C-alpha cells in the first residue's frame, strides 16, 4: 500500500526529543525559543509565536488583530475548515468567496466584490502548496485598509516572486501537523513583523497573564502553547529543510511530467511568480473520463494499493456554514483528489500511480 501521507523522521528527531525530556523542560523550553528564532529568520519576518496547532495559530492571529462580533472576514469557499471556524470562534462573520478556476486559490476580484463596511480582514489560503495572487491581495488590503492573514499551513517554503509565502501578510499562520512538510505531530506558528501583535499573541496564548506579574490577567486568554518536546521534533525537522524542499520539488516535477498531457485531468495551475513546495499534488478530474465519478477512481486506486484523498467540501455545500453557492469552488470540490506526495516516495511509485490513473481512464 502506498499511503497518502507519511511523516518523514530521518534526522536528529530522537536525539533532540530525548534532550528535551532529559532537560525536564517538557512544557516551554529552549527548543521553543530556538524554533521560533530559526523559523522567523528563514521565512523572513521579525517574530514567530509558536502554538499548539495551525488552528490555534489562526485563532490567536484573529484575536491579536481584535477581530470580533460585528466584523467580517473574507475566506475562500474551497479550503480546509480552520479559517472559517476560527473566525466563528471570535464571534465575527466569515464571508465566503469563490476561488480562481485555475489556481483554486481565493479569487482577488471576488474578494474585492465582497468587501463591506464591516470587513476587517482577508484570509488567503495557499492551497496544496500553490500561492495566492499576493500582489493583487496586498493591493486590495492596502486600498481598503484591511488586515491580511496568510494561511500557509499547506505551503511551507513555497515562494512568490522569490519571497517565502508567509512573509506578505500582517500575520501568517502555519501548521506542523503530521502530514505537513515539517511536522511536530501537532504544532503551529504565527509570524509577524509587528512587535505589538507579537507581544499580544504571547500573552493571549498563555492565559492572558501579564508578563512579570504572575497570575494577573489582563485578557481572557487561552492555553495555546507548544511543548518543548514538540519544538525539539520541529528543530530536528527544520535542520533537514533543504532536503525536504528538494524532495517535494522532485515529487511535483515527476507527477507533472507524467500527468500534464493526460486528457481528463487538470493539474492546479501554478503562476510564473510562484515556486511551489507542494504539500500534496492535487488533480481535478473530468468525471466523464472516470466512469462519471471521482469516488470510482478513489476506490479503484485503493484496490490497486494507492491511498488518495478527495478535495475539501466547500463551505457552501455544508449546511452548518450557511454560505451561498459558488460554482467554481463546488466544481473543484466535487472533482479534485490528491495523490501521495510524502518525502522519499520513489520515482517508481509515482510512475506506478500515474500508470494506474492512465489505466482507469476511459478514452
Ligand atoms: C489550509 C489549512 N489551514 C489550517 C489547518 C489547520 O491546521 P491544524 O490541523 O494544525 O490545526 C490546516 C490543516 O491541517 C490546513 O490545511
Q: How far is the CA of 5 from the centre of ligand 1 (A)?
A: 15
Q: Ligand 1 test: best mutation among 80, 99, 185, 190, most atoms within 8 Å of CB?
A: 80
Local mean pLDDT, 10-residue blocks, the chain (363 residues)? 95 98 96 98 98 98 98 98 98 98 98 98 98 98 98 98 98 98 98 98 97 94 98 98 97 97 95 98 94 91 98 98 98 97 98 96 85
If you measure from the C-alpha of residue 212 to the centroid of ligand 1, how many angstroms do you get, rounded to a whole number? 33
The pLDDT value given to residue 362: 87
Which CATH code fits 13-239? Answer: 3.40.640.10
Under 8 Å between Cβ of 82 and 51: no
Are the beta carbons of 220 and 316 closer than 8 angstroms? no
Could you tell me if the CB of 181 is within 6 A of ligand 1?
A: no
| Max intra-chain CA distance, the chain | 71
Q: What is the pLDDT of residue 236?
A: 98
Extract the C-alpha cell encoding 352.
Answer: 506506478
Number of other CB atoms surrounding residue 58 within 10 Å:
29
Render 170-223 in DSSP notation, one character per residue: SEEEEE-BTTSSS--BS-EEEEES-HHHHHHHHHHTBTTBPTTSTT-BSS---B
Domain boundaries, the chain: 13-239, 241-360
> pTM of the entire structure?
0.98
Could you write out the DSSP letters of every residue in 50-94? EESSHHHHHHHHHHHTT--TT-EEEEESSS-THHHHHHHHHT-EE
CB-based contact 180:279 (threshold 8 Å): yes
What's the 287 CA to ligand 1 centre distance in angstroms? 28
- Give the C-alpha distances (Å, rounded to integers) separating 314 from 69, 80, 304, 318: 24, 8, 28, 7
Q: Considering only CA atoms, which of 114, 100, 124, 134 is closest in space to residue 72?
A: 114
What CATH number belongs to 241-360? 3.90.1150.10
Q: For residues 278 and 281, give the distance between their C-alpha atoms in angstroms, rounded to a whole number.
A: 6
The response to whether residue 154 sits with its C-beta less than 6 Å from ligand 1 reads: yes
The pLDDT of residue 291? 86
Q: Look at residue 106 in the predicted model and tell me its pLDDT.
A: 98
Helix (H, G, I), strand (E, B) or coil at 301: helix
Q: Which residues are CB-contacts of 338 (< 8 A; sequence separation ≥ 6)? A: 4, 128, 280, 281, 282, 283, 308, 309, 311
Q: Give the residues across from 309 on adjacent strands.
A: 338
Amino acid at each position: 500500500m502506498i499511503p497518502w501521507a507519511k511523516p518523514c523522521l530521518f534526522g536528529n528527531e530522537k536525539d533532540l526529543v530525548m534532550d528535551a525530556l532529559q532537560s525536564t523542560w517538557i512544557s516551554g523550553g529552549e527548543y521553543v525559543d530556538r524554533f521560533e528564532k530559526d523559523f522567523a529568520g528563514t521565512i523572513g519576518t521579525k517574530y514567530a509565536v509558536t502554538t499548539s496547532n495551525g488552528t490555534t495559530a489562526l485563532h490567536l492571529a484573529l484575536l491579536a488583530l481584535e477581530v470580533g462580533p460585528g466584523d467580517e472576514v473574507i475566506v475562500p469557499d474551497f479550503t480546509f475548515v480552520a479559517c472559517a471556524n476560527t473566525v466563528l470562534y471570535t464571534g465575527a462573520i466569515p464571508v465566503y468567496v469563490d476561488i480562481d478556476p485555475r489556481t483554486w486559490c481565493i479569487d482577488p476580484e471576488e474578494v474585492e466584490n465582497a468587501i463591506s463596511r464591516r470587513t476587517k480582514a482577508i484570509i488567503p489560503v495557499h492551497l496544496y502548496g500553490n500561492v495566492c495572487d499576493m500582489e493583487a491581495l496586498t493591493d486590495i488590503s492596502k486600498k481598503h485598509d484591511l488586515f491580511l492573514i496568510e494561511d500557509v499551513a499547506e505551503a511551507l517554503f513555497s515562494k512568490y516572486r522569490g519571497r517565502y509565502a508567509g512573509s506578505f501578510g500582517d500575520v501568517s499562520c502555519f501548521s506542523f501537523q503530521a502530514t505537513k512538510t515539517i511536522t511536530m505531530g501537532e504544532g503551529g506558528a504565527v509570524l509577524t513583523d509587528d512587535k505589538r501583535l507579537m507581544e499580544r499573541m504571547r500573552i493571549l496564548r498563555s492565559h492572558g497573564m501579564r508578563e512579570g506579574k504572575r497570575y494577573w490577567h489582563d485578557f481572557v486568554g487561552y492555553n495555546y502553547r507548544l511543548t518543548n518536546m514538540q519544538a525539539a521534533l520541529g528543530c530536528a525537522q527544520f535542520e533537514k529543510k533543504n532536503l525536504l524542499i528538494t524532495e517535494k520539488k522532485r515529487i511535483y516535477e515527476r507527477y507533472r511530467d507524467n500527468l500534464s498531457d493526460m486528457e481528463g485531468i487538470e493539474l492546479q495551475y501554478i503562476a510564473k511568480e510562484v515556486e511551489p513546495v507542494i504539500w500534496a499534488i492535487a488533480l481535478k478530474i473530468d468525471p466523464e473520463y472516470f466512469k462519471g465519478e471521482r469516488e470510482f477512481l478513489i476506490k479503484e486506486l485503493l484496490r490497486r494499493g494507492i491511498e488518495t484523498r478527495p478535495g475539501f467540501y466547500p463551505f457552501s455545500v455544508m449546511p452548518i456554514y450557511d454560505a451561498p453557492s459558488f460554482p467554481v469552488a463546488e466544481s473543484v470540490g466535487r472533482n479534485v483528489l490528491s495523490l501521495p506526495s510524502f518525502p522519499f516516495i520513489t520515482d517508481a511509485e509515482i510512475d506506478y500511480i500515474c500508470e494506474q490513473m492512465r489505466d482507469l481512464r476511459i478514452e
